[in-house]
Amino acid sequence: MAKIWVLQHIICETLGTIADALDGAGISYQYIRPFAGDPVPKEIGGASGLIVMGGPMGVYEQGAYPFLADEMHLIEKALRAQVPILGVCLGSQLLAATLGAAVTKGQRKEIGWYPVTLADSCKDDPLWSGVESPFIAYHWHGDVFELPTGATALASSALTRFQAFRYGQSAYGFLFHMEVTPLIIRDMVETFGDELHEAKVDGADILQRAPDYLPRLQATGSLVFQRWSNPVVKSQD
């Protein structure tokens, strides 16, 4: 059976609906929690795919979070082995940085529900073809990445030029969140209350708007995550 390694950076940011896609494809997964002391594997050989989740730290904070350098080393190994990679939020930034792109603080934090517009390149992308654009996505990030050399830009928002990219055939980075559930959103609002206050973002408004936007976002995410799982399954055939 195919097995995915999942690098998790904080308890409240789990696989969410990505787990549903993996379960549906018969793919097992294992959380690796470096923030809780789990060692980051030095080689990718034991995994059929790698998912790197979001978190409150920045790529440039490796002095405070030395495991981030270990994660980038593992991402590099996965890229060389052409193992499918999915980076979400911080995970997309780590993927971009591993590919040599700059990751910096954005002009302001993008938190809440905002439209994402897909690029023309999505029309024939293995994950995004046929997805209607724009759609409202859930955002929670302060940092942004430049497009890595050789990568294909897939999406943008009014505030952020690069919201998603593909590198090669099966390495994807999404700055926005499609994996969220009502529980994950609630936990994030509660966990990051100080950040919301500092950014002058109304957490209650985020929760109130969730029923309006979440059904379509989850439907989009379900399709994209199922498609991402396909090469993982094929690699085991």
Eight-class DSSP state of 231: H
- Residue 233 scores a pLDDT above 70: no
List pLDDT tens digits, range 188-217.
999 999 999 999 999 999 999 999 999 999
- Residue 236 scores a pLDDT above 60: no
The residue behind tokens 């609630």 is 186
Q: What is the pLDDT of residue 231?
A: 80
| Residue among 32, 36, 26 at smallest CA distance from 6 | 32
* Cα 64 from Cα 57, distance rounded (Å): 9
Residues marked as catalytic: 89, 177, 179
| Mean pLDDT, rounded, of the chain | 96
Query: What angle, rounded to 10 degrees, do the helices at 90-98 and 67-80 form?
Result: 60
Q: What is the pLDDT of residue 232?
A: 81
List pLDDT tens digits, range 220-229.
999 999 999 9
Whole-number percent of the chain with pLDDT over 70: 97
Q: Can you tell me the mean pLDDT for 126-151? A: 98
The residue behind tokens 């942004």 is 144
Whole-number percent of the chain with pLDDT over 90: 95
List pLDDT tens digits, range 85-116.
999 999 999 999 999 999 999 999 999 999 99
At the top level of CATH, the class of 3-234 is alpha beta
Do 179 and 225 touch, CB atoms closer than 8 A? yes
Domain boundaries, the chain: 3-234
The residue behind tokens 């959103």 is 185
List pLDDT tens digits, range 40-67.
999 998 899 999 999 999 999 999 999 9
CB burial class (10 A; 0-12, 13-18, 19+) of residue 191? middle
The model carries a pTM of 0.96
| Residue among 19, 13, 11, 190 at smallest CA distance from 88 | 13
Strand order in the sheet with 171-174: 28-32, 3-7, 49-52, 85-88, 171-174, 164-167, 152-156, 103-118, 135-145
Token couple for 73: 């080393």
- The confidence band for 1, taking pLDDT boundaries of 50, 70 and 90, is low
